[in-house]
């Protein structure tokens, strides 16, 4: 029996979507769905939920929960990763509250910036533990990574981990839909091309019947920008740099040095920037799960329709050899020619029985490549810190982060990093 292993299976709602999709896919019937999580109660919830869905869907998949990660991985053909190391309390709180003492404010803090750096540093050792297990018990498995920070973790798993890894993010999938809906434009027959890095990929082309739709997009966006709305940062970046970016405005507000500034506090209101957004979401999700859990388990049969999550479509394409196109995070093997080869990039990829085949993009417009490189600098120095164990590279990563460098002095950046290292304690490996 082939096996699909889900690590971080305590993320019950996400498990419901991804493995519900698997059970709803004819080509994936008969697989063992192996669940692993460090929280036994949440793991049991997911097992119970999936068994109920299995009955409703009439699936022949077999659900099995494991307390031993290595055994969960043994013989797996596909591994889905959705972990969060340190959770909301204590680590996310730490990532937000200590920088505030230095006057550094954040919105999401899960990609780059101080929050992204430290999320990486506590997650990379865990991911490399996974990689060691995979090398020994399922060396041919494909690793489908949903965990942030996407670019760095996907990079590390491919390079230091030696595991066939593709990073999957929702931002490419929803980019055009969200933009067109917000501007009241019809998406029928629209063709698009997106490439860059995770959370900062660019809508390079958007056409219908061969006609460039960017002039109309920008005309409507300029009208909408006259009043406050949820996407003001991305519209401003589009006006200034020429192209729309995939990830949300609350994310991009902290990827650049232009929007969250103590010296210009009026920018927060001007661009409708939700400071401390991620902690609020965490609290809402924790409370929402308590309510949702009761409703889910009140029902004797749980319905599911296949979602747009890439995972089941990737596995289906590999099993059937019917090609499927995704936006995937992969190593830059000459794909985007004006970004570093050491970087993880987000590009169109073709999936079939041969695996994930990324497509060649060539040069990005120079201003877009330049913006990407500002984030790649921090990503690569974070990898260097994690692999070498050298504290100086943590400082380098933070000093090169656009938002952090725009707000803090070099001394404050070093002091902030030192305080965060101490506060994280055993959540981090030791650095010299």
CA distance 295 to 274: 30
Of the candidates 170, 229, 403, 424, the residue annotated as catalytic is 170
Segments of 19-162 assigned E as strands: 32-36, 62-66, 78-81, 142-145
Tokens of 4: 């699909």
CB 242 within 8 A of CB 284: no
> 229 among the known binding-site residues?
no
CA distance 172 to 309: 11
> Has 393 been annotated as catalytic?
no
DSSP state, residue 255: T
> 51 among the known binding-site residues?
no
In the chain, how long is the greatest CA-to-CA distance? Answer: 61
Helix (H, G, I), strand (E, B) or coil at 190: strand
CA distance 18 to 61: 13
Query: What are 7's strand-pairing partners?
Result: 36, 81
Instruction: Return all residues near 264 (Cβ < 8 A) that are at least 6 apart.
Output: none
Q: Which helix (H) or strand (E) holds 349?
A: strand 344-352
> 148 among the known binding-site residues?
yes
Sign of the dihedral defined by the CA atoms of residues 283, 265, 199, 429, in that order: negative
CA distance 86 to 119: 8
Query: What b-and-e string marks burial along 404-425, b requiring 16 or more CB atoms within 10 Å of the CB?
Result: bbbbbeeebbbebbeebbebbe
Is omega for the bond preceding 90 within 30 degrees of 0, making it cis? yes
Residue numbering of the annotated binding site for substrate? 148
Residue numbering of the annotated binding site? 148, 169, 199
Residue numbering of the annotated binding site for Mn(2+)? 169, 199
Residues marked active site are found at 170
């Amino acid at each position: 029996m082939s096996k699909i292993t889900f690590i971080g299976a305590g993320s019950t709602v996400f498990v419901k979507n991804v493995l519900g999709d698997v059970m709803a896919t004819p080509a994936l019937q008969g697989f063992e769905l192996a669940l692993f999580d460090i929280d036994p109660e949440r793991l049991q919830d997911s097992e119970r939920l999936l068994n109920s869905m299995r009955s409703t869907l009439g699936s022949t998949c077999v659900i099995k929960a494991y307390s031993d990660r290595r055994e969960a991985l043994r013989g797996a053909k596909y591994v889905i990763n959705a972990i969060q190391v340190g959770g909301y309390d204590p680590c996310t709180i730490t990532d937000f509250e200590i920088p505030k003492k230095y006057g550094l404010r954040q919105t999401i803090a899960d990609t780059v910036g101080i929050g992204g750096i430290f999320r990486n540093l506590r997650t990379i050792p865990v991911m490399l533990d996974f990689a060691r297990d995979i090398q020994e018990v399922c060396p041919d498995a494909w690793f489908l990574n949903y965990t942030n920070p996407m670019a760095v973790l996907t990079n590390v798993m491919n390079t230091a981990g030696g595991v066939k890894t593709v990073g999957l993010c929702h931002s490419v999938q929803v980019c055009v839909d969200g933009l067109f809906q917000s501007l009241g434009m019809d998406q029928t027959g629209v063709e698009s091309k997106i490439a860059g890095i995770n959370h900062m990929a660019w809508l390079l082309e958007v056409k219908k019947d061969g006609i460039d739709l960017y002039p109309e997009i920008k005309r409507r966006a300029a009208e909408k920008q006259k009043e406050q709305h949820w996407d003001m940062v991305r519209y401003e970046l589009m006006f200034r740099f020429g192209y729309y970016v995939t990830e949300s405005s609350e994310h991009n507000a902290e990827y650049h040095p232009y929007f969250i500034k103590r010296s210009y506090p009026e920018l927060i209101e001007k661009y409708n920037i939700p400071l401390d957004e991620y902690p609020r979401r965490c609290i809402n999700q924790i409370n929402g799960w308590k309510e949702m859990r009761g409703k889910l388990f009140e029902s004797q049969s749980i319905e599911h329709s296949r979602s747009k999550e890439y995972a089941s479509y990737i596995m289906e394409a590999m099993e059937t050899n019917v090609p499927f196109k995704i936006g995937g995070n992969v190593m830059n093997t000459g794909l985007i020619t004006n970004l570093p080869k050491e970087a993880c990039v987000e590009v169109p990829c073709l999936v079939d029985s041969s695996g994930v085949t990324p497509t060649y993009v060539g040069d990005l417009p120079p201003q877009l490549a330049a913006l990407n490189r500002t984030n790649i600098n921090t990503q690569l120095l974070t990898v260097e810190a994690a692999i070498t164990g050298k504290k100086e590279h943590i400082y380098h990563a933070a000093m090169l982060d656009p938002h952090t460098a725009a707000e803090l002095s070099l001394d404050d950046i070093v002091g902030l990093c030192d305080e965060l290292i101490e506060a994280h304690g055993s959540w981090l490996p030791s650095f010299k």
